A = this chain, B = another copy of it.
Amino acid sequence: MKSDLDRLMTERNIDALIIPGTEEPNPYRDYLANGIHAHATVIKKRGSEAVLIANGMELDEAAKSGLKVYNMTDFGLAELMQKYKSDQQAIGREYWRNILTQLDIKGRVAFYGVGDVMGTWKMLKRFERDYADLIEIVEDEDTSIFALARRGKDADEIAKLRDSGERSSKVMTETREWLAGHKANNNVVYKADGKPLTIGDVKHFVRLKLMEYGLEDSGGMIFAQGRDSALPHSRGEEDQPLELGKTLVFDLFPRPIGGGYYHDMTRTWSLGYATPEVEEAHRLVMYAFTQSLESLTVGQRTRELQELVCDIFEERGHPTPKTKPGGSEGYTHSLGHGIGLDVHEAPGISNYSPDDRVFEKGDVITIEPGLYYPDKGWGIRIEDSVYIDESGTAHNLTDCTYDLVIPIQNQN
């Protein structure tokens, strides 16, 4: 939780943290500054509330954070721009020295956020050179203090995650019902206008539904058919008509329009009928899914849950990362991940999760086993997002039938 940051800063001997005011979507800033739409810099000293530095045009927006907001001119920017004109390096050097001095920032400083790679490197190398008298730049651990703080969702965050889950589930359910209203001819699904129903049509419908529920598909949903559904990161081919008896992997991970907490869920459908092979594999994925949900426990190593699923699959002859890492057949990925202001957050749930990575109260994670056989033309994945409450009980935030087959009538 946000309130853990001071403790975490103490544990890792971090005196201050800085989130540079980059233009990119920035979950770190969203987290500390309550989702403001401003490219403000965020600075937090250990033991103090975070403060913002914004330009004159963004002061009002920045103030919505409820945090103290400084104008960039408070640190002499206007004078420096007059003094150095287009010498931006000279301006930046004095401007940042003014900030560090006026806000009394010194010691071990850690930089977080999202930004241009070259820009980050140059900025921090300059800090390393120019302010060595004041600060030392921290290399945080691989699981950063933000990853740790953001893992523990508070009541307000859970309410938002639950809300995104309810809305996402409705979109998926209504998409399923809408698909069921179509008819097929010669194994191809058709629209009322006589044209084949394509994956592009489905995605268009989903986007409209998302909008109706105040959500946006910021990451690019997966709706992939047949062989594509066996390539877990294929998004599906827009022009491809839907066909009966092929697997459709529908992975939806929207967030509220304009930003906020994500939901992440996946269903696998087969229109009209499913082949016996796919039906059996779907049952097995469902079994792995329910087994992992049932055994999910606070204090358990996340890796153990992945290994449980690997064992279930391997016993039935499917390759997994446990014995064949990097493979593209069978179960080919990790079991899940935390979810919040990012689609992918801590904790990871993989074969390579370290010993000390255990499930904790306040975790919101996805559980998403799957089986993939590109050469056989089918893939299956089932995914829900789950919250572990204060008592250690897991609550499913996703609510949508797992049924594989969507019955489709034939034309005439």
Chain A interfacial positions (CB closer than 8 Å to B): 19-20, 22-25, 28, 37-38, 55-61, 71-73, 77-78, 81-82, 85-86, 88-89, 91, 110-118, 120-122, 124-125, 137, 139-140, 142, 144, 204, 207-208, 211, 216, 218, 220, 231-235, 257-259, 303, 324-328, 332-333, 344, 351-355
> Which residues of B sit under 8 angstroms from A110, Cβ to Cβ?
118
With A37-B220, A233-B57, A352-B86 known to touch, is A118 a contact of B111 (CB < 8 Å)? yes
Contact between chains at A326 and B118 (CB < 8 Å): no
User: Which residue of chain B has its CB nearest to the CB of A86?
Assistant: B354
Q: A89 → chain B, closest Cβ, in Å?
A: 7
- Contact with A326, one of B77, B208, B327 (Cβ below 8 angstroms): B77
With A86-B355, A326-B78 known to touch, is A139 a contact of B116 (CB < 8 Å)? no
Tell me, in angstroms, the Cα distance from A24 to B57 when the chains sit together: 27
Contact between chains at A326 and B61 (CB < 8 Å): no
Contact between chains at A89 and B142 (CB < 8 Å): yes
Q: A19 → chain B, closest Cβ, in Å?
A: 8
With A114-B117, A121-B120, A352-B86 known to touch, is A60 a contact of B325 (CB < 8 Å)? no
Contact between chains at A23 and B344 (CB < 8 Å): yes
Contact between chains at A233 and B37 (CB < 8 Å): yes
Tell me, in angstroms, the Cα distance from A37 to B234 when the chains sit together: 8
With A121-B139, A211-B204 known to touch, is A234 a contact of B115 (CB < 8 Å)? no
12 more CB-based (< 8 A) A-B contacts, given A24-B25, A78-B324, A86-B353: A20-B117, A25-B25, A37-B220, A57-B232, A60-B231, A61-B235, A86-B355, A110-B118, A112-B116, A115-B120, A211-B211, A235-B258
| Nearest 3 A/B pairs, CB to CB | A86-B354, A113-B117, A78-B326
- Contact with A144, one of B118, B234, B352 (Cβ below 8 angstroms): B118
Q: A292 → chain B, closest Cβ, in Å?
A: 19
> Which residues of B sit under 8 angstroms from A234, Cβ to Cβ?
60-61
User: Which residue of chain B has its CB nearest to the CB of A303?
Assistant: B86
> Which residues of B sit under 8 angstroms from A28, Cβ to Cβ?
117
User: Which residue of chain B has its CB nearest to the CB of A120?
Assistant: B120
Contact between chains at A207 and B218 (CB < 8 Å): no
> Which residues of B sit under 8 angstroms from A142, Cβ to Cβ?
88-89
Q: A135 → chain B, closest Cβ, in Å?
A: 13
> Which residues of B sit under 8 angstroms from A333, Cβ to Cβ?
57
- Contact with A233, one of B61, B77, B86, B257 (Cβ below 8 angstroms): B61
> Which residues of B sit under 8 angstroms from A111, Cβ to Cβ?
117-118, 121
Q: A202 → chain B, closest Cβ, in Å?
A: 14
Tell me, in angstroms, the Cα distance from A351 to B88 when the chains sit together: 12
Q: A343 → chain B, closest Cβ, in Å?
A: 8
Tell me, in angstroms, the Cα distance from A368 to B62 when the chains sit together: 23
User: Which residue of chain B has its CB nearest to the CB of A354?
Assistant: B86
Contact between chains at B325 and A78 (CB < 8 Å): yes
Contact between chains at B122 and A118 (CB < 8 Å): no
> Which residues of B sit under 8 angstroms from A24, Cβ to Cβ?
24-25, 114
User: Which residue of chain B has its CB nearest to the CB of A19?
Assistant: B117
Tell me, in angstroms, the Cα distance from A114 to B117 when the chains sit together: 5
